[in-house]
Structure 1
Amino acid sequence: MGSRTGQQCAQRWRHKVNPNIKREKWTEEEDERLLELVGVHGNAWAEISRQLEGRTDQQCMGRWRRHLDPGIKRVSWAAPEDAALASLHARHGSHWSAIAKSIDGRTAQQCRARW
C-alpha cells in the first residue's frame, strides 16, 4: 500500500474501514454492558471491545470517558475551578492532560473547551 506499513493498514482496518464497526448511536443495552465490563476489566479497552460486538476499543474508551464515567463532573464550572484552570494554564500552557490531573472530576477535553 505505497508508503504505508502493515501495522498502519491493520490499524486503519480495525478502527475505520471494517464494515462490522457500528457507527450508530449507542443503545441503552450497550451502555449497561459497557458499565459491567468496565467493572470487570477496568480500562482494558481492547478486552472490553472484544465483548461488545461491533464496537472498537476507541469507541468504548470514548463512550466511557465522555458519557458514562461517574467520576466526571457534567455540571457547570464553578468560580474556583475557573481560577484553578487559569493558574494551571499559566504553569502548563496547553498541556490539557496535565491540567486536568489537578482539577478533580474534569477531563482534558473539558479543560480545553472551557479555556
Structure 2
Amino acid sequence: MLQVPSTARQPRKWTIAEDQKLREEVEAQLIEGEVKDWCRIANAIPGRSNKDCRKRWKNALEGGLRKGQWSKSEDTQLARGVQRHGQRWVLVAEQIKTRSADQCAKRWQQSLDPDLDRSEWRETEDEILIQAVQKFGRHWKDIQRQCFPTRSKNCIKNR
C-alpha cells in the first residue's frame, strides 16, 4: 500500500534551546515595550510558527501555568471567578493566574459546577446509557447533550 506523506504538521516537543531562544526574543521585545510581533519571534526559531511561539509563551513559559491536580485554593479561586465573570473563561483564568481558560472551563464543567448531578446511577439510567452508546458510539458529548445534560461527560464515560 502506497503511503502519501501527510501535509499536516506533526506536533513536536519544544527543545531547551528553542525555549531559550523564545525567551530571548520575547525579552528583546519586552525591552522595547511589549510583545507585539510574534512573526518576528517565529522567524528566529526555525520550524515554529508565530502561533506556536505565542502559545508556548502563554501556556508554558510566561506565567508558569500549572498542569495536573488542582489545589483547594485554585478550586476556590475558580468558583469565585465563575461567580464574578460567569463562564467567560479567559477572564476567569486571568483571575486564577495559574491555569489556562481551557483548564478552567474543563475543571468547572467536569467537577465543580454545583448543577452537576452526582447522585448514584439508577437502573433506568444504565439502560438509557446502553441504548445511547449503541446509537452514538463513544461520543460522550452527544450522549450528554441528548440523554444526561446534568451529568458530566467524564461521569458518563466512566459509567
Provide the TM-score with structure 2 as the length reference.
Answer: 0.60
Q: How does 1:72-91 map to 2 (within 5 A)?
A: 72-91=116-135
In 1, distance between residues paired with 2:149 and 2:98? 33
Contact 1:72/1:105, CA 8 A, preserved across alignment: yes
2:89 aligned partner: 45
The answer as to whether partners of 2:110 and 2:154 remain within 8 angstroms in 1 is no
Maintained 8 Å contact 1:84/1:103 = no
Higher relative contact order (CA 8 A, sep 6+): 1
Q: How much has 1:65 moved relative to structure 2?
A: 2.2
1:20 aligns with 2:46: no
CA contact (8 A) 2:65 2:98 kept: yes
Give 3-state SS (helix, strand or coil) of 1:51's partner.
helix
Shift in CA distance, 9/77, structure 1 to aligned 2, threshold 3 Å:
farther
| Structure 1 residues not aligned, in runs of 5+ | none
SS of 2:96's equivalent in the other structure is coil
Q: Which has the larger radius of gyration?
A: 2
For residue 2 of structure 1, report the CA deviation from its aligned partner: 4.2
How many residues in Structure 1 have an aligned counterpart in Structure 2? 114
Q: Give the TM-score taking structure 1 as reference length.
A: 0.78
Mapped contact 2:63–2:97 kept (Cα < 8 A): no
Residue 143 of structure 2 corresponds to residue 106 of structure 1: no
